[in-house]
Amino acid sequence: MRVTTTLLAIALLLCTTAFATPMPQKTFPVTADIETTPVHNSGDAADDPAIWVHPTDVTKSRILGSDKQEGIEVYDLDGNRTVSYDFGKINNIDLRYGFPLGGKRVDIVGGSNRTSWEISLYTIEEGRLRNVNGAPINPKMPKMYGFSMYHSQRTDKYYALIAGKGGEFEQYELYDNGQGKIDGKLVRSMKFSSMTEGIVADDEYGFIYVAEERGSVWKFNAEPGDDTLTKIGTAWDGMLTPDIEGMTIYYTSDGGGYLIISSQGNSTYAVYDRVTNKYINSFEINKGIVDGTFDTDGIDVVSFGLGDKWPNGFFVAQDGVNTDKRFPFLFNQNFKVVSWEKIAKALNLKIDNSVNPRHLQKRGE
């Protein structure tokens, strides 16, 4: 009996030592200002948002959200759904501004479409999407999953970035095929050791971040040719509780800002310095006027001022469990929106509403 107790004590001690966290997460609460209309499909359906800034009237900007069982939904800045598209089972979505197509500069939205098993591409104009795929872009991985885009400020080239359930990563250069459509060519393939979904590119510094859901977050040169990896964080490191999900970047005019990562396992969002990638603090979205977030997949943030309602931009997060205080049952999943000044105040972060994502600049080497 005594031997067993001693062994147990030693085992416990070893466990405690092995799992000791080097730096405990510091989490500050905020509450959402609004929530979007729930997505059309029940169960695990809402996944990944993207924020589109209107070219001339920022109040007509839109929040796009993927319903991974059906397609893409579009919401106005009050969270009301304006239109939805049954484009297929699009898991993650992203967008970029000013793509050269047919002699014009257009805004484009892309997604990992698991119905057609291709990268789906659309133009977005006045909040409406139109398919512009030329030859199908079929990733070489058996199960495509994460998706993001990169617009190089060095070469003005546009790329689609796709990740697979087997840790695959592929980068496709997108180009006008001469017939008003967009084609893509594979320019880089990489392989991580486990399942990858979250991807984000820092267009100004020219970096891509990729997250293994139960592994590490990696940073590398967004220009194809240099695959050197730098580790930013790891699952169970005290800041990130797996799954590690969506990632997004807050830009400031002095080249600073933040990398934000969804730590799905404890429903928090970890904030890192954009340049040094040092961990700062975390936040969680608690119940306020609307319910809080739980088990978040994708996130996005915009620092640019979007009119009187959102003078300092906002952060948007998928909510895995959407409830309502008036009714004791679940609604379909949706997206929660938090004004940036709330997050900035809670975590003592910068507020800079002057970087228009349509006009970025080259920074770094």
Q: Does 94 bind Ca ion (CB under 5 A)?
A: yes
Taking the least distance from each CB to Ca ion, the nearer of 54 and 336 is: 336
- Please state, in angstroms and rounded to a whole number, the distance separating the CA atoms of residues 29 and 290: 14
- Told to check if 118 binds Ca ion by CB under 5 A, we report no
261-290 positions binding Ca ion, by CB under 5 A:
290
Residue 6 CB, shortest distance to Ca ion, in Å, is 42
Chosen residue from 44, 125, 156, 254 binding Ca ion by CB under 5 A: 44
Q: How far is the CB of 141 from Ca ion (least distance, A)?
A: 15
Q: Which tokens belong to 142?
A: 């058996």
Q: By C-beta, is 105 or 287 nearer to Ca ion? A: 287
- Per rule CB under 5 A, is residue 204 in the interface with Ca ion? no
Choose the binding region for Ca ion from 202-210, 231-239, 270-278, 319-327 (rule: CB under 5 A): 319-327
73 binds Ca ion (CB under 5 A): no
Of 29-37, 183-191, 216-224, 348-356, which segment contacts Ca ion by CB under 5 A? Answer: 29-37
When asked if residue 203 is in the footprint of Ca ion (CB under 5 A), the reply is: no
- Tell me the closest approach of the beta carbon of residue 124 to Ca ion, in angstroms: 14
Q: Least Å distance between CB 304 and Ca ion? A: 17
Q: How far is the CB of 179 from Ca ion (least distance, A)?
A: 28
- Residue 321 engages Ca ion in binding (rule: CB under 5 A): yes
Q: How far is the CB of 200 from Ca ion (least distance, A)?
A: 8
Find the part of the chain contacting Ca ion (CB under 5 A) among 4-12, 50-58, 75-83, 135-143: 50-58
Min dist CB 231 to Ca ion, Å, is: 20
CB of 109 to Ca ion, least distance (A): 10
Exposed, middle or buried, 227 (CB in 10 Å: 0-12/13-18/19+)?
A: exposed
> How many chain residues bind Ca ion (CB under 5 A)?
14
Whose Cβ is closer to Ca ion: residue 72's or residue 176's? 72
- For position 319 contacting Ca ion by CB under 5 A, the verdict is yes
User: Tokens for 48?
Assistant: 């990944």
CB of 167 to Ca ion, least distance (A): 13
Which member of 48, 70, 202, 203 binds Ca ion (CB under 5 A)?
48
Contact residue for Ca ion among 170, 173, 197, 203 (CB under 5 A): 197
3-state secondary structure the chain: CHHHHHHHHHHHHHHHHHCCCCCCCCEEEEECCEECCCCCCCCCCEEEEEEECCCCCHHHCEEEEEECCCEEEEECCCCCEEEEECCCCEEEEEEEEEEEECCEEEEEEEEEECCCCEEEEEEEECCEEEECECCCCCCCCCCEEEEEEEECCCCCCEEEEEEECCCEEEEEEEEECCCCCEEEEEEEEEECCCCEEEEEEECCCCEEEEEECCCEEEEEECCCCCCCCEEEEECCCCCCCCCEEEEEEEECCCCCEEEEEEEHHHCEEEEEECCCCCEEEEEEEECCCCCCCCCCCCEEEECCCCCCCCCCCEEEEEECCEEECCEEEEECCEEEEEEHHHHHHHHCCCCCCCCCCCCCCCCCC
Q: Which of residues 289-308 bind Ca ion (CB under 5 A)?
A: 290-291, 297
Cα of first residue to Cα of last residue in the chain, in angstroms, is 65
Residues that bind Ca ion (CB under 5 A): 35, 44, 47-48, 50, 94, 197, 290-291, 297, 319, 321-322, 324
